[in-house]
Amino acid sequence: MYHDFNYEATLASSLRAQWQLDDVLREDQALDFSRNFMPESLARTAALGSLNPFEQRILNQISAHQYLCIFGVVEEFILPFLLDHARPALRDDDYRVRALLNFASEEAKHIHLFKRFHEAFVRGFPVECQMIGPSEAIGAEVLRHDPLAVALVILMIEWMTQQHYLGSIRDDGDLDPLFKSLMKHHWMEEAQHAKLDTLIVDALGEGRSEAQIDQAIDEFFEIGGFLDEGLKQQAAFNLDALEKVIGRKLDDRDEILAQQHQAARWTYIGSGMVHDRFKATLATLSARAAERMAEAAPVFA
């Protein structure tokens, strides 16, 4: 076995690591808009030489707004997926049922937390930032795919949050402490989710032929392509918001758009795709699946 995850131990770790919303952000707290919100390893705004430091920070904060919205969207499809996965076997293994329902409940809490951060953002930011959606439509499009493909997307997303937190502690003394705390608390619970996702993928992959796994990987890439289109659209919305705040049109908008789209690809897809644990799960599923993922990964770097 390439891992030693099980429902009983994961449930116990989850219950130990749990926190409350107010531990991360109280309803009356304000974000510090004199600082960056996103680690540079994800936002890549300091690399934009045509923007002055103030403009770079505004775009960094808009990129954090995107983070709150994108995670809101993905957690909204993770939640029903988990309930659907748990429901057919509610009488079998008590630890499994409790671990999966606890996982679902934590995702509902994360949705709540991301909304609370979003409200704090809106209170402090000078213009309205547009967001792709509606999240129900995005969720429905993702969930119409093979459950194994969806489970792999979720596994990738949950491992990527590990990478995000590590990036945020590594690179930035200047980050808003509340945003840093958001990444830390998300990381704490997602670490357990990723183990449960691994067990879900194992279960859904069991007994599948090579051709059926290949089909699921096709669908994984379909979902990835769909999400990537959304990221491209979102990058354009982000620049609209930046132009509104700074009161000028960007001369090199196309270059910035491409660079910011690429930053989002890395943040929301690539950083999960190259995670060692994600790669290990794929390799166990099939050597061909791991190969196909490795070939695609550079597009999202």
Pick 108 or 236: Cβ nearer Fe ion: 108
Binding mask 86-125 for Fe ion (x = CB under 5 A): ------------------------x---------------
Expressed in angstroms, the distance from the first to the final Cα of the chain is 29
Query: Is 190 one of the binding residues for Fe ion (CB under 5 A)?
Result: yes
Beta-ladder partners of 36 = 175
Query: Is 76 one of the binding residues for Fe ion (CB under 5 A)?
Result: no
Pick 48 or 82: Cβ nearer Fe ion: 82
Pick 35 or 193: Cβ nearer Fe ion: 193
Pick 155 or 239: Cβ nearer Fe ion: 155
Closest approach of Fe ion to the CB of residue 114, in Å? 8
Closest approach of Fe ion to the CB of residue 236, in Å? 26
Q: Would you say 72 and 114 are in contact if contact means Cβ atoms under 8 Å apart?
A: yes
Query: Is 219 one of the binding residues for Fe ion (CB under 5 A)?
Result: no
Using the rule CB under 5 A, give the single segment among 4-12, 14-22, 150-158, 170-178 that binds Fe ion: 150-158
- Amino acid in position 94: D
Query: Is 193 one of the binding residues for Fe ion (CB under 5 A)?
Result: yes
Residues 6+ apart with CB under 8 A from 275: 156, 159, 160, 162, 163
Half-sphere exposure of residue 28: CA atoms within 13 angstroms, side-chain side: 0
Pick 44 or 164: Cβ nearer Fe ion: 164
Question: In whole angstroms, what is the distance from residue 61 CA to residue 55 CA?
Answer: 10
Using the rule CB under 5 A, give the single segment among 139-147, 188-196, 235-243, 276-284 that binds Fe ion: 188-196
Q: Would you say 21 and 117 are in contact if contact means Cβ atoms under 8 Å apart?
A: no
Closest approach of Fe ion to the CB of residue 81, in Å? 11
Residues 6+ apart with CB under 8 A from 123: 30
Question: In whole angstroms, what is the distance from residue 143 CA to residue 284 CA?
Answer: 24
Closest approach of Fe ion to the CB of residue 75, in Å? 5
CB atoms within 10 A of CB 170: 10
Using CB under 5 A as the criterion, which residues of the chain lie in contact with Fe ion when the complex forms?
110, 158, 190, 193
